[in-house]
Copies of this chain bind each other. A is one copy, B any other.
Amino acid sequence: MRNFQLIGKSGKARRGILHTAHGTVETPAFMNVATQAAIKGAVSQSDLKRLGCQIALSNTYHLHLRPGDDLIREMGGLHHFMRWDRPILTDSGGFQIFSLAKLRKIREEGVSFHSHIDGRLLFMGPEESIQIQSNLGSDIAMAFDECVKIPSPREYVQSSADRTYRWLLRSRAAWIANIQRDDSVNPGQMLFGINQGAVFKDIRCDHMKKIAELDLPGYAIGGLAVGESHTEMYDTIEAVEENMPNDRPRYLMGVGTPVNILEGVFRGVDMFDCVMPARNGRHGHLFTKHGIINIKNEKYEKDDRPVEEGCGCPLCATYSRSYLRHLFKSQEMLGMRLAVSHNLYFYNRLMTDIRDNLDNGSFQDFYLTNREVLDRRI
């Protein structure tokens, strides 16, 4: 059986089911980010299920540094370590090396860098990244890539994309070797390749065509939401999408706002992840179906209504805007937890609404109604 079934379409938008070693994911799906094997904001794994999370994402770079992927392997892999029995995707570590680590040096073999925690010198190439992800035992491993900043000179982007392709060949070889081992933590682990090329459409498309030929279980568009305009992002997705295989899941990495996600689905993307719901929640910014509210705003001081009328999240089901504002003003951790819970619930519910509208043939209306509303500040 194929790991991905396409069960419906509306224009370019796709409705699918992804099968993993830890259960299925209905797509389009949002992956809830558990960077260090935990959701930021004191949200627990059992909360996460109540918030509608289908699949979690953890970070190879962070877990390699602390507590160490060897330790997690010894503890039975990431699923057992964090007691999460649903699917997990791990990124390659590349993005964090390029955004967090210090004094990095890129060579053909891989990247030397200093840990952002204790400064020790480390090296990661495709084999190391895949080995770490094998130790973690995630359901989906990501190929090791370089995420170039935007803007970057065309020449550098081209040579980086070429190297990322060579790294993908090595990632694939390491992945195949790892899942075939007798002591593999997760023999059902999949590998997704990552498309790069900044906002140069020809580099993006050539790269996408080449990696599509490798017949991987899935493909991601990486290197977006790193400084380009929304128009550049959408145009890039449209160009790349033309060259992505129809029968494989498509993942737009690190994106984004609710409208970004809606626009991504509209353009044929199946999977998303972003720290935004948790990060914005920790700052008191809450997504609602009417737009974004800042709970610290004085107008909510005596507002006994829930943040969003009718919302079924743990915040809105019980507490008032007035109380949440008090928690934020008093720096009570409970405020962050409730706000993050609401935002994750909002994102997961948005994906449910998108899927329901795809199933019911009403997605185009849903798209047009919501594309202007969701990111509005109210």
Contact = CB atoms under 8 A, between A and B. Distances in A.
Nearest to A337: B42
A33 interface: no
A319 B83 contact: yes
Contacts of A333: 40-42, 333, 336-337
Interface string A25-61: 0000000000011111111111000000000000000
B334 A67 contact: no
A323 B82 contact: yes
A322 B83 contact: no
A38 B332 contact: yes
Interface residues of A, number: 42
B318 A83 contact: yes
Contact of A329 (B66, B81, B302, B327): B66
A337 B44 contact: yes
Max chain B Cβ within 10 angstroms of own Cβ: one of A38, A42, A76, A320: A42
Interface in A321-356: 322-323, 325-327, 329-330, 332-338
Contacts of A302: 71, 74-75
A291 interface: no
Given A81-B322, A318-B46, A318-B83, A40 B332 contact: yes
A128 to B, nearest CB: 21
B66 A323 contact: no
A322 B66 CA distance: 12
Contacts of A202: none
A39 B334 contact: yes
Given A67-B301, A83-B323, A329-B67, A38 B318 contact: no
Interface string A294-306: 0000000110100
A190 B219 CA distance: 66
Contacts of A83: 318-320, 323
Given A75-B322, A82-B323, A336 B42 contact: yes
A41 B333 CA distance: 6
Given A320-B75, A323-B82, A36 B314 contact: no
A304 B45 contact: no
Contact of A81 (B67, B323, B338): B323
A75 B304 contact: yes
A318 B318 CA distance: 25
Interface of A: 36-46, 62, 66-67, 71, 74-76, 81-83, 301-302, 304, 314, 318-320, 322-323, 325-327, 329-330, 332-338
Given A75-B304, A81-B323, 9 more contacts: A36-B326, A41-B333, A42-B334, A44-B337, A66-B329, A67-B301, A67-B329, A67-B330, A75-B302
20 contacts: A37-B323, A38-B330, A38-B334, A41-B42, A42-B332, A42-B333, A42-B337, A45-B318, A62-B330, A66-B330, A67-B326, A75-B302, A75-B320, A76-B304, A81-B326, A83-B318, A83-B320, A333-B333, A333-B336, A333-B337
